[in-house]
Chain A
Amino acid sequence: MIKLNNIHKSYVMGNSKLHVLKGINLDIEQGEFVSIMGSSGSGKSTLLNILGMLDNHDQGSYYLNNQQIKNMSEKKAAQLRNELVGFVFQSFNLISFKNAMENVALPLYYKGVKRKKRNIIAMEYLDKLGLKDWAEHMPNEMSGGQKQRIAIARALISKPKLILADEPTGALDTTTSYEVMEILKEINNDGITVILVTHEHDIASMTKKIIRLKDGQIHEIIRNGDLTNFREAYTKELETI
C-alpha cells in the first residue's frame, strides 16, 4: 500500500535549512492501523503531509497504491487525493458557511457527482456516524466531537483506501477522543488503512502499530504483540511523573 524508501525533506527558513526528515524507510500494508508518534519537531506532521501528497519530498521514493508519487502536477495530486486519501484534521477544518451535509458532500462535488445524488450519499454517511439529525446545522452550532465526526464522514465519502488523521483527538476531551478512536477502529475494520499522528500514548496504544519518530528518523516500531509492553511502559511513565 505504502512504500517509503529513504525519504528526505528539508525546509528553507530564510538562510538556514531545516532538515526535517532524514531518511525514512517504511512499509505499510493495506488495512493497517498505524499511529505516528514523536515529540514536536520530530517530523511526524511533515511525514503525514508527504503521505497525503500535500507536500513533496526532496529525496527518496514514495509508492502509494503501487504508483510512484513524484513531481506530480497539482491537478493530478488533487485528483489522487480525492480518489485515494481522506483527511481528518485536529481543527476539523470544516467550511464554516456550509452545513454538515454540504461539508460531507464536498469531495463528491470535486469528483463531479450530481448535487442531488451527493446529498443522498452524504446523508447516508451522516447516518452511519449518528449525525443524521444534524445535517442542516452549521459547524459553529456543533460540539467538537460532532464536528470531528462530520470531518470523518467527509473523509470517508469518497471511499478512500487511506485515512490520514493529523491529531484527530487533539482538540477533544478524553471521552470524545475515545469515541472518535472507536469510529476510526470501525473504519479500519472495513479494510481501510488508517494512519494517525498523535502525541498521546493512550490514543496511540489503541492502534495496531506505532511508529516513533525521533529527529527525523524512525526510532522504533512497536507492533501489535508488543503493545501490552508499551502500555505498561506508558503507565509507568505516567506514574513517574
Chain B
Amino acid sequence: MFDIDKWQEIIATIKKNKLRTFLTGFAIAWGIFMLMVLLGAGNGLSNGVGSNFEGNATNAMWIWSRETSMPYQGLKAGRRIYFDMKDYDEIKKLDDIDKISARYFSNSRTYSFKNEYGQYTTQGCHPDYRDIEKLNIDEGRFINEIDIQYKRKVVVIGKDIKEALFKGIEPVGEYLNIGGVLYKIIGVYAESDPREGAQQGLIPITTAQLIFNIGDRIHNLAVTTKDISKKESLQIEKKIRTLLAANHKVDVNDTRAIGIYNSLENYIETMNIFKAINIFIWLIGIGTLIAGIVGVSNIMLIVVKERTKEIGIRKAIGASPSSIIGLILLESVFITLLAGYIGMLFGISLMELINFVMEQQSSAASSSDRGQFTMFLNPTVDLRIAISSLLLLVGAGTLAGYIPAKRAASIKPIEALHNE
C-alpha cells in the first residue's frame, strides 16, 4: 500500500488525464457534499424540534395493569394482573423517582349532601397525586400523610361536585355521604387546565382499601421523575417494567399486561419521525454517491483500456494478476477518497458556516422574542457520521475499481502486446 512505485504510477496516470480525473472526482465530491448538507439539515431540523421538548421537564408516567398476553414461567396468558402496595413501595425506592401515587377507582358511587345527590367516581390516592396531576386546591387542603396513616375518612371534592351538590354552602368541614359512608370534606380541587372537568372525590388510598375491602390492591400507579434526561427516563421506564414484571410473574415484553404511558413518548415519536427522515436522507445521499461511483468505475474502465498494453508488458515481465488488481484498485480508492474528502470538507464547512450565522442571529434576536417555536438548530454533522461516510467512501472506491481491476487482471499479455 505504501509502495512509492505504485503511488508514482497512480500520480503519473492522474497527471496525464487531469480533466478526466477532475470530472470523475467531482461526481464523488458532489455526492458527499450533498450527503453532508442533507444530513446537516436533517440534524438541524431534528435538533430544532427536539429543543422544544426541553421545556417540558415534568415527566409523568402512568402505569396500569391488564390481562397477560404471553404465557410466562408456566403461567397461561390471559391472567388478570393487579398491582398492590408492594409495587408502590418498591417503585418509590427507585432512583430518580420524584412523586408517586397509587390509585384506586370506584365508579358511580352516589354522593349525597342533604337533599342533593349525584353519581361520581371516587379515587383513592396519595398526597403526591396533587403534584402529578397538577391540581389546584381552591379551598381547604389536599390529602396529607396523616390522613394516609390513620386511614381517615376525608375527601377532596372536585369543583363540579361542589357546584352540583353544595348550592351556596361552603363544603369544607361538611360531611359528604358517599355510598353510605360519611366523609369529612377537607378541600375542593380544580384541574390546572380549566377545560378538564373536576368530577371526582379524592380520598386517601388507605381509606379506599379499607372501605372497599380490597386489601392492599391498587388499580394504577402515577409517577413523576426528577429532572433527568430523556434517556434516563426511558431507563426508569424499563426499570419499573422489569420490577413489576418480576413481582407479578409477567414477561417483561408483555406490554398488554403492564402498560406504561410515558409522557415522553410524544417526544420519542417525534424523534422517530426524524429517524425516518434521516434514513431517507442517507438513501438519497447514497443514491447520489452511487452515481459518482458508477462514474469512477466508468473512467477506470477507460483507463484500463488505455493501459492495456502497459498491463500486458507488466504481465510479460512477471506481474501477477493480484498486483495489477492492487494497482487499479488503489488508484480508484485514491481518487474517491481524495475527492470525497474534499466534498466532505466543503459540506461540513458550509453547515458550520450556516450554524455560525444562525447563532449570531439568534443571540441578537433572543432579547426580543423568547420562547418561540424553533424549527432549526445546530445544523452540523457529527464526527461519527463524517467518519462513517469516509469509510463508505473507501468501500465505494473499492467497489468502483473492482470491475475494471478484474478486467485488467484478465488481460492476456499477448493480446495486449499485439494491440499496437
Contacts and interface: CB of A to CB of B under 8 A. Distances in A.
B313 to A, nearest CB: 5
B4 A115 contact: yes
B15 to A, nearest CB: 9
Contact of B323 (A83, A107, A110): A110
Contact of B414 (A54, A74, A83): A54
A95 B5 CA distance: 13
Given A106-B314, A115-B5, A75 B414 contact: no
Contacts of A93: 309, 312-313, 316, 417
A95 B414 contact: no
Nearest to A103: B313
A91 B420 contact: yes
A110 B3 CA distance: 12
Interface in B9-31: 9, 12-13, 16
B272 interface: no
Given A49-B414, A110-B319, A110-B320, A95 B420 contact: no
Given A54-B414, A93-B417, A87 B16 contact: no
Nearest to B5: A109
Given A74-B320, A79-B320, A54 B420 contact: no
A226 interface: no
A158 B412 CA distance: 22
Interface string B401-420: 00000000100111001001
Interface string B151-189: 000000000000000000000000000000000000000
A33 interface: no
A110 B317 contact: yes
Q: Is the interface of B mostly helix, strand, loop or mixed?
A: helix
Contacts of A49: 414
Nearest to B312: A93
Contacts of B12: 97
Number of chain B interface residues as a range:
20 to 34
Given A54-B414, A95-B313, A79 B16 contact: no
Number of chain A interface residues as a range:
20 to 34
A78 B320 contact: yes
Given A49-B414, A54-B414, A87 B4 contact: no
Interface string B288-329: 000000000000000000000110111111111111000000
Interface string A67-83: 00000001100110111
Contact of A78 (B9, B16, B310, B318): B318
Nearest to A110: B318
A107 B317 CA distance: 6
A111 B316 CA distance: 13
A133 B196 CA distance: 100
Contacts of A83: 318
Interface in A130-157: 154
Contacts of B310: 95-96
Contacts of A96: 310
Given A91-B420, A97-B16, A115-B4, A55 B414 contact: yes
A111 B413 CA distance: 18
A106 B314 CA distance: 8
A79 B318 contact: yes
Nearest to B9: A97
Nearest to A97: B12
Contacts of B414: 49, 54-55
B320 A54 contact: no
A111 B318 contact: yes
A125 interface: no
Interface in A157-200: 158
Contacts of A94: 313
Nearest to B420: A91
A62 interface: no
Interface in A104-121: 106-107, 109-111, 115
A97 B321 CA distance: 21
B321 A52 contact: no
Contacts of A78: 315, 318-321
A81 B317 contact: yes
A74 B5 contact: no
Contact of A89 (B4, B5, B315, B417): B417
Contacts of A79: 318, 320
Contacts of A106: 314, 317
Given A49-B414, A54-B414, A115-B4, A81 B318 contact: yes
Contacts of A154: 317
A74 B13 CA distance: 25
Nearest to B322: A75
Nearest to A166: B417
A117 to B, nearest CB: 13
Contact of B316 (A74, A81, A97, A109): A81
A156 to B, nearest CB: 12
14 contacts: A54-B316, A74-B315, A74-B321, A78-B315, A78-B321, A79-B318, A79-B320, A81-B318, A87-B316, A87-B317, A89-B417, A94-B313, A97-B9, A97-B12
Given A52-B316, A93-B417, A97-B12, 13 more contacts: A54-B316, A54-B412, A54-B414, A55-B412, A74-B321, A78-B320, A89-B417, A93-B316, A95-B310, A109-B5, A110-B318, A110-B323, A158-B317
Interface of A: 49, 52, 54-55, 74-75, 78-79, 81-83, 86-87, 89, 91, 93-97, 106-107, 109-111, 115, 154, 158
